[in-house]
Structure 1
Amino acid sequence: MHMNSAPHLQNEDRAEFERLLEDALRNAHERPDLATVGQRLNAAQLRTMALNATALITASAAPEYEHYVRIREEARSPTAAGDRDRPRIHVDGDGSGAGFAAVVAVLAPVLAGIAALLFLLVGYVLKMLDPPPSFAQALVSAGWFFAALTAAAILYAGVGLLRTALRNSATQLPAEELSNELPDEVARAKDAWLHAVLERGVLPFLRIALEDPAVDPVSGAPPRPVTRMPKVGYDSPDYSSPSEGKSAGQRPTFTSPDFTSPDFGGPENRPE
C-alpha cells in the first residue's frame, strides 16, 4: 500500500518527532523486539535512516496529525488569542473609583502647579506696588497653598505608580508561564499524535530495519515497510510460440510448385 498523501511536518513539529525518535532509541533495550540494536545496526545508523524516512514514518499517523494541527490553529486564532491575552484590570468597587482616582492622580499635580504659579506670580507683583493692595498677601498665601497641594499630588501619584509596578512585577512570571502552556484540548491532540507516530510509525520502522537482511549497515539504505509490494501466490501461464520446442535442424522446408507455360511443353504440344 502506498501512502502518497502523507502530510509534511511543520518546522515546529520536527523537533517533537526527533525527540520521540531519540527516546525510542534510548529505551530500545527495554523492548524485546528492539534488543538487537547495536549488533548489526547501531543507534546512530537507525537514527539517520529514520530521519531520511520521516515522511514515510509520520504518514502512519496522518489523521492524528491533521487533527492536532487543526486544533492548534483554532487555539491560535485571533479571537481565542484575544480572549486569552486581554489584560485584566483590577478595580476597586464598581470600577468607576479606579478611573476617577487615575484622573485625579494625573490632573491634580498639573492643575495645582499652574494655580500655584499664577497666584504667587500675581501676588508678589502686587506686593511690589506702593502701596500694595490689601488682597496681594491673600494671593501669595493661596499660591503657597496650591504649591503645597502640588507637592502632595506628586507624592500621591508617585506612590500609586510604585504600587502598580510592584503589583505587575508580582504577577508577571505566572502570566508568562500560563501563556506557554497549551490548552487542554491541544495538549491531548498532541499526545495522541505522538503516541500514534511511536506505535504505528517509529517502532515498526525500527523493527523492520533490524530484521531486514537487505538493509546495508554501511550505506544505511532505509527499509521500505510500507511501499514493499507483497508477492502474489500464483505464476503467470507459460506461453510458447509454435516454433518453441523444435530444434534448429527441424525447420520446415518449402519448395515452389513446378509451373510450365504452353511454350515449354515440348514439340508435340505446339499448335500447328
Structure 2
Amino acid sequence: MHMNVAPHLLTEDRSEFERVLDDALRHAHDRPDLAEVGTRLTAAQLRAMALSATALITAAAAPEYDHFVKIREQGRSSGTSVMGAVLAADGDGASGGPGAGVIAIVTVLAPVLAGTAALIFLLVGAVLKVLAPALQFADTLLTAGWFFGAVAAAGLLCAAAGLLVTALRNRATEVAADSGAAAGDELSLARDAWRHALLERGIVPFLREALADPGAARPTPTPRPRPVSRIPKVGYSGPDFSSPGEGASGNRPSYSSPDFSSPDFGPPESVPD
C-alpha cells in the first residue's frame, strides 16, 4: 500500500515520515500504551493504516514541519551564495592565468636571489677593499652589494604583504564555513523538533486509537466503479424469431395433394377418306 501524499508534506520528506513510523512500531513495546501491538493488530497492519492516514498524522506537527522547511530553504540559499562567492574569489585569483604564477614565483625568489647576490658582492668588495684600498672595482662591488640588499629588503616587504592578504582571505573563508556549520546545526535542531512532534503528537496517538478501536481506525475501502462497456449500443433491437411450433394452428396454410387420374386409352378412331 502506498502512502497518500499529504498536502503539506514534500516528496523529499516522505521517506523521513516512514522512518519515524517504522521506529515507532519497532519500539512500540517500550511504551505501555502501545504494548498491544501484535495482539489486536500486527505491525504491518498498523503501518498500512498509518500510511493511509498520512495527511491526518502530519497535520499534527505542521508548525514544526513548516519551520524545518523554512530553515532548510534558507540554508540552501545561503549555501548557494557562499559557493558563488568562493568561486568568484577563486576566479579573481586565477584571472591572471600564467602571469599570476610568474608574479608569485618572482615575489618568492627575488628576496632570496637578491639577498644572496648582495652577500656575495659585499664580501668580495670588502675583501678587495682590504687587500687593495686604491682599487676602484672594490667600490663598485660594494655599491652593487648594497643595491641588491635594498632589492632583497623590498622583496621581503612584498612577500610579507602577500602573506597578509592571503591570511585575510583565508579568514573570510573560515568565517563563511563557520556560518555554514551554524546553519547546519540549526537545520538539525529543526529536523529533530519536527520528528519529535510527528512522533508524539501524530504517530503515537494514531496508533493508540487504532489499537483501542481497530474498526474505527481501519480505512474504509473505496468501492470500485462498475465497468462500463466500450461497445456502443445500436438504436434498434434484434428481430423476434419464434419457433415453428408457436402460434395458432388455424393460421397454418392447408395443402392437399393434387388428384391425378390415369389417361383413358382406346382404339384410334377411323379417319374418313
TM-score strictly above 0.5: no
Instruction: Please say which structure displays the higher CA radius of gyration.
Output: 2
If the length of structure 1 is used for normalisation, what is the TM-score? Answer: 0.44
If the length of structure 2 is used for normalisation, what is the TM-score? Answer: 0.43
